[in-house]
Amino acid sequence: MIAAWCLYWILAAFFVLACAAAVLPCLFALPALRRLEQGRMLAALPQIHAGLEPPVSVVLTARDDAPGVDAPRIAAAVHALLALHYPLFEILVVDDGSSDDTMQVLTDAFALHPFPEAYRVRLPLRQPVTRIYRSTRHPNLRVIGKQAGGRADALNAAVNAARYPLVFSLACGTVPYIDSLHDLVLPFLANTGTVASVGLLDTTSDGARGVATPGIDALRAERFAPLGWSALDAMLVAPPGIQLLRKDAVVAAGGYCPAAACADADMLLRLHHAACDAAGPYRIAFTGEAAGHGGKDDERSPKRRCMRRQQVLVDGLARHMALLWGRRVPPKTRLAFLLLLVFDGAGPAIETAAWALLAVAALTGLLPLSACAAFLVLAVGLGMLQSTFALLLDAISPRGASRPGRLHALLRAAVTENLGPRQVRTYWRTLGLAAWLRQRGQM
């Protein structure tokens, strides 16, 4: 009986700490949200653009076996990129071993011709580059043909070929807003130590500028928490989005990792890792604003999506455990890593175990029913606290609760999501963790 009560309070304490860990970064997001609001107010005023902003290499990776990707869509994506508003940029399309007529369609659409480029290998590739093409119609467009090696390999091939100091990486299906580069480049102008600038991807709208809000829980985890950690210079994971990276930093980090569950998510951790090793000041900025739209998750089922995201998270954390104990890691980064590891990495498994143990204890009479009910009230109350805090931040944020009906929808979600859906998602994330552990065991 005493052991049951001890476990009861350990698990209750874990729920309280998990709630605190979820709310803490959101608290730090408050000043950043205020800045965003002020920025919105000033956005309509004359902007100072000299045309001297650092040039950018825009990288689009395409492979025909990816969901929703075909040759016409790739050509349309390139047309959209050519229309970007920015003083100087080049577009590098990497055709990662497409088996359809992608190259022919691109050749016809952009008047490509093979180009004798002295390809520079700074990052090793799994599969070789077969040929580089250059457009006679658009001098800033090149297409890299290579054998299929995955997105990380394709990105590494593009980084090798990139001429400019900043690399803007996109997947086919992602469309950046026409002036998004101006917003993303600002952190590089303001702070020379910036190695990455991340913008949100609006996966819910059809292109109208807005902020992705797939759910109140996602709103907190994918917008306000990264904004808070970014304000502390300790953002380790970013929501699905658009990344503008300093090429030298990517090369110093060893490039994209082909073995990682998600090359883009892993890159941010690699950048932290490399920058900590170099022991210099660095910054990874999160704009908190949508920089583009599209890029819907490959996984249509919510269960698979939850599992996939958990796998990506724990895979990244496992690959970069040195951020927890490395000597040169700043304390803020170490704390962020620890909280991620305990409450986001292992947390779902602990919470799922807590619900299972509670059910067993109630059925076997180890704990009185009133205690189980109290635990339920505690867990649901803390969940609602996290959700409504996100609701409050959304109301504070520009373009937030000003949309008609949004506040009511979010308020309803803040209540209903904690009465079942959150617990189900926690269970799915536990399944994702288990699947990752199984995969790791097989390697």
- The residues of the shown chain that bind another protein, judged by CB under 8 A, are 5, 8-9, 12, 16, 19, 38, 41-42, 44-46, 48-54, 115-118, 120, 122, 134, 136, 139, 189-192, 367-368, 370-371, 374-382, 384-385, 387-389, 391-392, 394-396, 401-402, 407, 411, 414
Contact 113, 120 (CB under 8 A): no
Shorter beta-carbon distance to another protein: residue 89 or 428? 89
> At closest approach, how far in Å is the CB of 140 from another protein?
12
> At closest approach, how far in Å is the CB of 110 from another protein?
13
> At closest approach, how far in Å is the CB of 160 from another protein?
9
Shorter beta-carbon distance to another protein: residue 109 or 186? 186
> At closest approach, how far in Å is the CB of 228 from another protein?
16
> At closest approach, how far in Å is the CB of 389 from another protein?
6
Query: Cα(291)–Cα(181) distance, rounded to whole angstroms?
Result: 8
Which tokens sit at 299?
Answer: 């996984």
Residues 6+ apart with CB under 8 A from 366: 1, 4, 360
> At closest approach, how far in Å is the CB of 402 from another protein?
6
Query: Cα(275)–Cα(253) distance, rounded to whole angstroms?
Result: 8
Query: Cα(275)–Cα(337) distance, rounded to whole angstroms?
Result: 15
Which tokens sit at 164?
Answer: 């400019």
Phi then psi for residue 256, to 5 deg, are -75, 145
Shorter beta-carbon distance to another protein: residue 93 or 112? 112
Shorter beta-carbon distance to another protein: residue 193 or 302? 193
Shorter beta-carbon distance to another protein: residue 248 or 298? 248
Which tokens sit at 304?
Answer: 């698979």
Taking alpha carbons only, the member of 199, 278, 286, 188 closest to residue 236 is 286
In total, the chain counts a number of residues equal to 443
- DSSP bridge partners of 113: 134
> At closest approach, how far in Å is the CB of 313 from another protein?
26
Contact 340, 317 (CB under 8 A): yes
Shorter beta-carbon distance to another protein: residue 207 or 381? 381
Which tokens sit at 292?
Answer: 């583009």
Q: Name the CA dihedral angle for 116, 121, 123, 129, rounded to a multiple of 10 degrees.
A: 40
Shorter beta-carbon distance to another protein: residue 132 or 171? 132
